[in-house]
Amino acid sequence: MNHEVEDKGEAAAATAAATVYDPAAPAPLGVERTPTGHADVDMLLERLGDADHLAADGHIEVYEDVHGGLREALTALDARPGPPVPPSSYDIRS
C-alpha cells in the first residue's frame, strides 16, 4: 500500500513538472489582423495566425511564406496595365 502512495506522489510531481511555464512554448500573440479587402493579402495575413501555434523556431517558415506572398501580390500590382500615359505637351527634339 505504501508503494501506491509513492506512485501517486511521483505522478503528481511529474504532472506539476509538465505544467511548468515554458517561455519557448507556443502562445498566441494576440495581434489583431484587420482585413484589407484584397482576398490574397487577407489570406496571407490570416496565415500569420499559424505562428501562434508554433514554437518560436517555427515562426520563420510562416514569416517567409507570408513575406513571399506579399511580394508576389505587390509584383502583380506592378504588372497590371495602368491608364494610358498622356502625350507630352512639349517637343523633346532640340
- Indicate the burial class of 47 (C-beta count within 10 angstroms; 0-12, 13-18, 19 or more): middle
Mean pLDDT of the chain: 79
Report residue 74 as a C-alpha cell.
505587390
pTM of the predicted model over 0.85:
no
* Tens of pLDDT, residues 22-60: 766 777 777 788 899 999 999 999 998 888 888 888 889
Weakest-pLDDT range from 2-6, 52-56, 62-66, 74-78: 2-6
